[in-house]
C-alpha cells in the first residue's frame, strides 16, 4: 500500500536494488575519502584535537540541514533531491586535492563541512524512500540489507581506502570519492517510485496532509501529528531517547578508532582501514543474524547497546591488535542488529507521510550531538589517555541501555495497571 493505493509488491521491490547500489557506491567513495582525510590530518598534525575537529565539522551541519532534507522530501521529488546533492558534492570532493600542508587544513575542514551538509540532506530523503519501494512485511529484511550495505562500505571503502591511501597517496582516494558521486547520480537517474493514478509521490503525500486527521495543513500540521504519534508509541519514545543520549558518547568512539590504530598500535593507514573493515564485517554479519529475528525488536536493540558498552570497555583494556580487530567485529554486529531494529520500528510506527520529517529530526539530533561529542573527544584526548576515555564511553553506553530499558519497563507496567482499571 503506497499513499492509500495498492501497488503490486514485485513492482515496488524493483526500485530498491538501484537505491541500494547507489548507496553502496556513494558510501565506498566517501569512506575512501574519510580514511585518507584522517590519515592526512594525523600525518600533518599528529594531534587528537585536529582529528576531533575534522570529524566534528562533518556532523555539525546535521542540526540545520537534516530537517531541511526531511521537509524538502515532502515538497520535491525525492529522486531529484538525491541526484542534485550527489552532483554538487563532486567539486567539493575534488577540493581536498588542494590540501598539501598544515596551512591548508582549512580547505579540508570547509570541504568536510559542505560534504556533511549534503549528506545531511541526502540521508533522511533516502531513508524515507525505503518504505515506498518495499512492502511493510519486508522492512526488517530491507533494514538488515541497509546494515549489510554499510558493512560492505566499511570493508571495501575503509580497508581498501586505507591501502589505496598508503600506496597511491590520499589524492587518489579523493578522486575516487568524486567519481563515486557521479556514478551514484547516474544510478538514481533510472530510479522510479510507484506513481499510481498518474500522481507523483509528492502530490499524493501532500493530499494526505490536507486531511483533517493530520492536525492541520503544512509544517505545523506535520509536527502536531508527529507529536501525537510519538506520545502514543513507546517504541518511538525509546528511539528518540536513544538518538538524544547515545550520540553524546558515540563521537568519542569515532575519534578513538583512528587514535587506537595510529597511536596505540602504531599501525598507520592500514590499521585505520583494518579497524573500519572489522566494523564492516560485523555490520554484514548483522544482516544474516537479523534474518532470524522477527519479534521483540526493542529488546534486541537495547540488549545490543548494552553489549556494545561492555565490548568498548574490553577494547580499552586490550593490548593486542588482532584481539581488538575481532572485538570490533562483535561490537559492530551488536550495533547493526540494534540499528536495523530501531529503523524498522520507526517505519512501522510512523505514517509514511511523516517519515521524512521524523528521519530528518532524528538525523539532525544525532548528527549534531555526535559532532559535539567528537569535538569534545578531541579536547579530552589532550588531557586523558585514549584507553581511559574508551572505558568511560563503554560504561556510558551500558548505562544508557539500562536507563532506556528501565523506562520501557516502567511505561509497560503503567499501561498494564491502567488497562486493569
pLDDT at residue 200 in the model? 42
**Residue 85 placed within a domain:** yes
**Residue 3 placed within a domain:** no
pLDDT at residue 202 in the model? 42
- Please tell me the least confidently modeled range out of 74-83, 178-187, 211-220: 211-220
What distance in Å separates the CA atoms of residue 401 and residue 301, rounded to the nearest whole number?
Answer: 9
pLDDT at residue 1 in the model? 43
**Residue 269 placed within a domain:** yes
**Residue 391 placed within a domain:** yes
5 beta partners = 2
**Residue 1 placed within a domain:** no
Contact 116, 58 (CB under 8 A): yes
What is the total residue count of the chain?
421
Report in angstroms the alpha-carbon separations of 79 from 1, 323, 342: 20, 43, 25
**388: phi then psi, degrees, rounded to nearest 5:** -65, -40
User: pLDDT band for position 283 (50/70/90)?
Assistant: confident
Q: Return the sign of the alpha-carbon dihedral for residues 166, 167, 170, 174.
A: negative
Q: Which residue from 286, 284, 264, 292 is spatially nearest to 390, judged by alpha carbons?
A: 264
CATH number at residue 313: 1.20.1250.20
What distance in Å separates the CA atoms of residue 174 and residue 285, rounded to the nearest whole number?
Answer: 29
What distance in Å separates the CA atoms of residue 205 and residue 196, rounded to the nearest whole number?
Answer: 12
2 beta partners = 5
State how many domains the chain has: 1
* Mean confidence (pLDDT) of the chain: 79
**Residue 2 placed within a domain:** no
Residue with cell 492509500: 4
The mean pLDDT value for 195-203 works out to: 43
The residues, any chain, with a CB within 8 Å of residue 29's CB and separated by 6 or more, are 93, 157, 176, 177, 178, 179, 180, 181, 184
User: pLDDT band for position 324 (50/70/90)?
Assistant: very high
Residue of higher predicted confidence among 228 and 233: 233
Q: Is the pLDDT of residue 206 over 50?
A: no
- Please tell me the least confidently modeled range out of 108-112, 225-229, 269-273, 286-290: 225-229
Q: How far is CA 383 from the centre of its chain?
A: 29
**Residue 4 placed within a domain:** no
Contact 309, 401 (CB under 8 A): yes
Structural domain for 14, as ranges? 9-193+202-416
- Please tell me the least confidently modeled range out of 11-15, 174-178, 209-213, 325-329: 209-213
Q: Is the pLDDT of residue 183 over 50?
A: yes
Q: Is the pLDDT of residue 326 over 90?
A: yes
**Residue 74 placed within a domain:** yes
* pLDDT tens digits along 121-177: 888 888 888 888 877 777 888 888 888 888 888 777 766 776 776 777 777 878 888
Rg (CA), the chain: 21
pLDDT at residue 173 in the model? 79
Amino acid at each position: 500500500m503506497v499513499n492509500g493505493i495498492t501497488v503490486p509488491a514485485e513492482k515496488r521491490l524493483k526500485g530498491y536494488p538501484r537505491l541500494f547500489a547507489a548507496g553502496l557506491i556513494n558510501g565506498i567513495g566517501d569512506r575512501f575519502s574519510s580514511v585518507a582525510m584522517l590519515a592526512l590530518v594525523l600525518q600533518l598534525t599528529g594531534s587528537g584535537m585536529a582529528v576531533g575537529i575534522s570529524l566534528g565539522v562533518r556532523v555539525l551541519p546535521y542540526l540545520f540541514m537534516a530537517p531541511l532534507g526531511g521537509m524538502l522530501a515532502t515538497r520535491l521529488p525525492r529522486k531529484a533531491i538525491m541526484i542534485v546533492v550527489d552532483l554538487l558534492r563532486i567539486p567539493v570532493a575534488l577540493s581536498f586535492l588542494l590540501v598539501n600542508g598544515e596551512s591548508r587544513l582549512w580547505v579540508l575542514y570547509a570541504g568536510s563541512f559542505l560534504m556533511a551538509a549534503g549528506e545531511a540532506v541526502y540521508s533522511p530523503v533516502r531513508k524515507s524512500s525505503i518504505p515506498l519501494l518495499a512492502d511493510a512485511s519486508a522492512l526488517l529484511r530491507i533494514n538488515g540489507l541497509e546494515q549489510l550495505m554499510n558493512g560492505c562500505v566499511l570493508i571495501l571503502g575503509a580497508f581498501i581506502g586505507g591501502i589505496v591511501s598508503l600506496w597511491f597517496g590520499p589524492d587518489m582516494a579523493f578522486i575516487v570519492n568524486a567519481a563515486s558521486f557521479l556514478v551514484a547520480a547516474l544510478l538514481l537517474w533510472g530510479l522510479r517510485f510507484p506513481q499510481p493514478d498518474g500522481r507523483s509521490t509528492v502530490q499524493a503525500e501532500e493530499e494526505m496532509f490536507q486531511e483533517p486527521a493530520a492536525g492541520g495543513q503544512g509544517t505545523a500540521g506535520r509536527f502536531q501529528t508527529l507529536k501525537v504519534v510519538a506520545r502514543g508509541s513507546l517504541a518511538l519514545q525509546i528511539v528518540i531517547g536513544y538518538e538524544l543520549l547515545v550520540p553524546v558518547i558515540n563521537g568519542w568512539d569515532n575519534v578513538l578508532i583512528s587514535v587506537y590504530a595510529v597511536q596505540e598500535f602504531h599501525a598507520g593507514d592500514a590499521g585505520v582501514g583494518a579497524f573500519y573493515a572489522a566494523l564492516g564485517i560485523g555490520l554484514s554479519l548483522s544482516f544474516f543474524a537479523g534474518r532470524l529475528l522477527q519479534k521483540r525488536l526493542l529488546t534486541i536493540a537495547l540488549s545490543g547497546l548494552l553489549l556494545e558498552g561492555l565490548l568498548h570497555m574490553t577494547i580499552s583494556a586490550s593490548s593486542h591488535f588482532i584481539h581488538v580487530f575481532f572485538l570490533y567485529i562483535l561490537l559492530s554486529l551488536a550495533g547493526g542488529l540494534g540499528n536495523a531494529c530501531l529503523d524498522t520500528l520507526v517505519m512501522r510506527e510512523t505514517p509514511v507521510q511523516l517519515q521524512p520529517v521524523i528521519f530528518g529530526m532524528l538525523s539532525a539530533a544525532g548528527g549534531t550531538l555526535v559532532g559535539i561529542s567528537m569535538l569534545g573527544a578531541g579536547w579530552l584526548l589532550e588531557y586523558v589517555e585514549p584507553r581511559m576515555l574508551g572505558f568511560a564511553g563503554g560504561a556510558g553506553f551500558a548505562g544508557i541501555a539500562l536507563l532506556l530499558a528501565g523506562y520501557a519497563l516502567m511505561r509497560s507496567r503503567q499501561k498494564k495497571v491502567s488497562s486493569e482499571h
